Amino acid sequence: MTDSDPLDAVFGALAHPVRRQILARLAEQDATVNELAEPFDMSLPAISKHLRVLEAAGIISRGKRAQFRPCHLEPEPLEAVAGWADQYRHIWQARFDAMTRAIETMKGKADD
Amino acid sequence: MTDSDPLDAVFGALAHPVRRQILARLAEQDATVNELAEPFDMSLPAISKHLRVLEAAGIISRGKRAQFRPCHLEPEPLEAVAGWADQYRHIWQARFDAMTRAIETMKGKADD
DNA sequence: CACAAATTAAACTGATTAGTTAATTAATCA
DNA sequence: TGATTAATTAACTAATCAGTTTAATTTGTG
C-alpha cells in the first residue's frame, strides 16, 4: 500500500476540459452544482462526478447550504502544480536565453 | 471534430508517477529507453508506452542514434502548465496575504 | 403533509489505460 | 552471415473513466 503522490490525482483531475472550465468558473465565485452544470450539454450526474474528482484531488471543497452544495476553489493544489512545473523553469529559461542571444547576434550582423 | 485542448494530453501525461519520474530524469540529461527503464520494476514495453504518451503530449521528442532512440525533454508544454496554473496565482496569493495580515495582527496584540 | 428543487446514488455501457508476454523490426558486431 | 542489442508491435486482460438513465435523498415551501 504505497500511498500515491497527491499530484497523481491533481494532474488527473486537470486532464479533463470540463473540469478545467469548472475551475475557471469557480475562480470567479463559488457556485452550486446546477450553476456549474449550466454551460455544459451534459447530464447533472456527469457534472456531479466531475466535481467529485476535483474534490478528491483537493482542488475544490463543498459547503452545505440548504439543499445546495456550493463549491469553492481550494488553491493549494494548483500552487503545487505551479511549483512542480517551476522545477523545469531553468530548462525553458535556458532555451529562451539562447534564442535571445541568437537574436542579438543577428542584430549585430545586420549592423555591419 | 472539435480539436481538443492540448492541455488535456499534457495533464493526462503528467498524471502518472512513472512518467513524472521519467521527466525528472530527462531534465538532467537525454537518455535511451533502456536507461529510462532501469529504475523501474516494469517491462520495457510498458516504459515504451509511457514514452509514447509523453511524446504524444509533446513533452518529449526522440532521436535516432544507431539502434537507440534517445529521448529529449521538450520544455514548452511544461511552460504552458506553469502558465495555466499562474492564472490562479492571485487566488493563493490573496490567501497568503490574508494569513500574513492575520499574523501581523496577532503580533500587534502580543505587544499589548 | 405533499410536492418541488438540488443533488447524489445505483446500475449499466463503451472507451481508454496500464500492464503483461511473445513476436518482430532494425542496427551493430563478431 | 548469424548473433546480439535496442526498441516496438501485437494481442490480450483487468481496471478505471466518462457518460447515460432511473431512482433515492434531503431540504424548503404552500
The model's pLDDT over B27-85, given as tens digits with 9 standing for 90+, comes to: 999 999 999 999 999 999 999 999 999 999 999 999 999 889 999 999 999 999 999 99
pLDDT at A109: 76
**DSSP 3-state of B104:** helix
DSSP conformational letter for B15: T
Cβ(A27)–Cβ(B14) below 8 Å: no
**Which nucleotides of chain C does any protein CB come within 7 A of?**
5-11, 17-22, 26-28
Structure confidence at residue B9 as a pLDDT band (50, 70, 90):
very high
CA distance B9 to B14: 9
Helices B6-14/B76-86 angle, 10° precision? 100
Give B85 to chain A, closest Cα distance, Å. Answer: 5
Structure confidence at residue B3 as a pLDDT band (50, 70, 90):
low
Chain A residues whose CB is inside 8 A of the B75 CB are 88, 91-92, 95
Residue B100 has pLDDT above 90, yes or no: no
Q: Measured at the alpha carbon of residue A85, what is the angle toward residues A79 and A91, in degrees to the nearest 5?
A: 150
In order of their start, the domains of chain A are: 6-86 (1.10.10.10)
Radius of gyration of chain B (CA): 21
Structure confidence at residue A112 as a pLDDT band (50, 70, 90):
low
C1' (D29) to CA (A28) span, angstroms: 31
Instruction: Give the Cβ contact number of residue A16 at 10 Å.
Output: 17
